[in-house]
């Protein structure tokens, strides 16, 4: 799994001119799932996301996690995070998991994040043409890949 985590002051997802998810302070998380991903990858990544200390404390240092600032998550599925760009100019997406594998893992990630934060997770719509709006705070953007745990 690969996640692009952006600290935001606001973010929203729109599908067919309808808002499917919206948050104020928190993380916009773009999540890519590949065939090799497992439940263990999901649990490890969810823990990293929830415990990521990138929010400012009283001294302005990045020492606070989502729970410390009552932050939220907008989770967006994004298979393009596994684009292969070595040949030519048209990306290939063969590493990205097909929907029959990716959808259950995406739904499990929603449940896992919700359980860890004790909050509802805002989402996009898997496989839909989504329009994402955000105000990146900082900017702070972190990329995590479960294949690089060490």
Question: Each residue of 1-58: pLDDT tens digit?
Answer: 999 999 999 999 999 999 999 999 999 999 999 999 999 999 999 999 999 999 999 9
Active-site residue (options: 38, 80, 84, 120): 80
Q: Is residue 137 part of a domain?
A: yes
pLDDT band at 85 (very low <50, low <70, confident <90, very high): confident
Q: State the residue range of the domain holding 114.
A: 2-144
Whether 130 shows a pLDDT value over 90: the answer reads yes
Helix ranges (H only) for the chain are: 39-51, 99-117
Q: Is residue 33 part of a domain?
A: yes
| Cα of 58 vs its chain's centroid, Å | 27
pLDDT tens column, 107-121: 999 999 999 999 999
Number of domains within the chain: 1
Q: Is residue 149 part of a domain?
A: no
117 contact partners, CB below 8 Å, separation of at least 6: 50, 66, 67, 72, 73
- Backbone φ and ψ for 16, nearest 5 degrees, come out as 50, 45
3-state helix, strand, coil in the chain (%, to 5): 30, 40, 30
DSSP secondary structure, 46-60, as one string: HHHHHH---EE-TTS
The residue written with tokens 């600032």 in the block is: 69
Q: Is residue 112 part of a domain?
A: yes
| Residue 21: CATH number of its domain | 3.50.80.10
Distance (Å, rounded) from C-alpha 130 to C-alpha 16? 8
Q: Is residue 150 part of a domain?
A: no
Distance (Å, rounded) from C-alpha 148 to C-alpha 85? 20
Tell how strand 122-123 and strand 72-77 pair up: parallel
pLDDT band at 88 (very low <50, low <70, confident <90, very high): confident
End-to-end CA distance of the chain: 15
Q: Is residue 70 part of a domain?
A: yes
84 is catalytic: no
């Amino acid at each position: 799994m690969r996640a692009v985590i952006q600290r935001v002051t606001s973010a929203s997802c729109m599908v067919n001119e309808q808002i499917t998810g919206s948050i104020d302070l928190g993380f916009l998380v773009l999540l890519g799932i590949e065939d090799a991903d497992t439940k263990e990858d999901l649990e490890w990544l969810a823990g990293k996301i929830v415990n990521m200390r990138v929010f400012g404390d009283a001294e302005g240092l990045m020492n606070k996690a989502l729970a410390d600032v009552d932050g939220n998550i907008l989770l967006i599925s994004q298979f393009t995070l596994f684009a292969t760009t070595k040949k030519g100019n048209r990306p290939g997406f063969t590493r990205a998991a097909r929907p029959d594998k990716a959808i259950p893992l995406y739904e499990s990630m929603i449940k896992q994040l919700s359980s860890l934060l004790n909050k509802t997770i805002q989402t996009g719509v898997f496989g839909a043409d989504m329009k994402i709006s955000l105000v990146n705070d900082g900017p702070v953007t972190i990329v995590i890949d479960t294949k690089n745990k060490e």
